[in-house]
Amino acid sequence: MNAGKIIFAQLMFRLPWRRFQTCVNRYSGDHKIKGFTCADQFRVMAFAQLTYRESLRDIEACLQAMSSKLYHMGVSCAVSRNNLAHANETRDWRIYADFAQILIVKARKLYADEELGIELNSNIYALDSTTIDLCLSLFPWARFRKTKGAIKLHTLMNLRGSIPEFILISDGKLHDVNVLDFLIPEPGAYYIMDRAYIDFERLYGWHQAKTFFVTRAKANFKFRRRYSHGVDKSTGVLCDQTVMLTTFYPAKAYPEPLRRIKYIDQQTGEKLVFLTNNFELPAVTIAQLYKARWQIELFFKWIKQHLRIKAFYGTSLNAVKTQIWIAISTYLLVAIVKKELRLESSLYTILQVLSLSLFERMPILQAFAETDSQLKTNDSCNQSSLL
């Protein structure tokens, strides 16, 4: 890497810009644009994510102070909050959604061999959603309740590397179970989800597609035990049963047997009841799979703490989706850089270093050399971190 480039330029160099331009052309993003292009918009918004800018005015003031370095950032013209606000309002958010999918594919390949702690060769996904509260008077299109606005971020995460494979941004009213209609089940893969996604008709369709699911049973779950399997209670497994649904409509929707596993968490003492259509794995492995679902909770917590997806730079639906997709792309970029440069620091640490060194002229590895050497002997960060 050219040591004369600033670190921000070295980061941007790792993005597939030709494929980005394909996304721009697909939605005519730069049609009749002479100055502030979609690539400029992406760079500025990524800069705002990496440096924790709070508002358009904040972005403008920061970049004006560094106006002599805009060219070195790859930004072709001066940046004003009006230009940035107009771009976020009018340029199709699908440009950045499609580009994020390209980065997801790249990150997935890099993390394909990541250890999960569970001996399975299949892909393992966690499905969940998080709600982002909005002020209803500023975001009237995001009505959630009578006096409250919100959007939901529905995410399917590959647990090998904590890489989001599918993201749907919806209004707060969309029930989680409806997201199953947007997913194409992968044969042989495992999908881990909580009770909000129990719909036996949809789950039976996944079963017929030879896809495995693991979820928790609801409190009012009605069943008939067909067979009980032997268990080792020292592992925390209290029972392992083959059951049939007995309630009329669920039984009609899912006419085949299910596996019911009752498990007690030996650390917390909490009793959990799992349902799955997999009858081959040991019961304790099913419990471990569900426990691994916690990674998606950490992901939601992480992006809310360290990316700008709770305070928005614009109030339209297009501006909000644009900001979220560029935030996701920034997360993926940092994850890709971590893997390609073989950095041992957590994503949290990498972001902290980048936020203070984006305009430094040094090889990007040099910025992390001291951090990585200290990481082996001292980890003083108490933040929840991924990767």
Residue 113's CB: how many other CB atoms inside 10 A?
Answer: 8
As a whole number, mean pLDDT of residues 18-39 equals 92
User: How far apart, in whole angstroms, are the C-alpha atoms of residue 323 and residue 379?
Assistant: 32
As a whole number, mean pLDDT of residues 174-182 equals 94
Say if residue 379's pLDDT is above 60: no
As a whole number, mean pLDDT of residues 100-127 equals 88
As a whole number, mean pLDDT of residues 360-374 equals 76
User: How far apart, in whole angstroms, are the C-alpha atoms of residue 193 and residue 269?
Assistant: 21
* Residue type for position 21: Q
As a whole number, mean pLDDT of residues 27-46 equals 91
Which of 218, 108, 84 minimizes the C-alpha distance to 156? 108
Say if residue 385's pLDDT is above 90: no
Where do the domains of the chain lie, and which CATH numbers do they carry? Answer: 7-96+315-375 (no CATH), 195-278 (2.20.25)
Which pLDDT score, from 0 to 100, does residue 374 have?
56
- Tell me the angle at which helices 317-340 and 81-90 cross, rounded to the nearest 10 degrees: 100
As a whole number, mean pLDDT of residues 304-318 equals 89
As a whole number, mean pLDDT of residues 191-196 equals 94
Which of 303, 313, 309 minimizes the C-alpha distance to 351? 303
Which pLDDT score, from 0 to 100, does residue 348 have?
85
User: Between residues 11 and 70, which one has the greater pLDDT?
Assistant: 11
Give bridge partners of residue 149 from the DSSP assignment. 134, 143
**Radius of gyration for the chain, computed over Cα atoms and rounded to the nearest angstrom:** 23
The mean-pLDDT minimum among 59-73, 86-100, 278-292 falls in 59-73
Which of 14, 30, 23, 48 minimizes the C-alpha distance to 100? 23
SS3 content of the chain, % helix, strand, coil (to 5): 45, 20, 35
Give bridge partners of residue 258 from the DSSP assignment. 243
pTM: 0.88
Which pLDDT score, from 0 to 100, does residue 344 have?
86
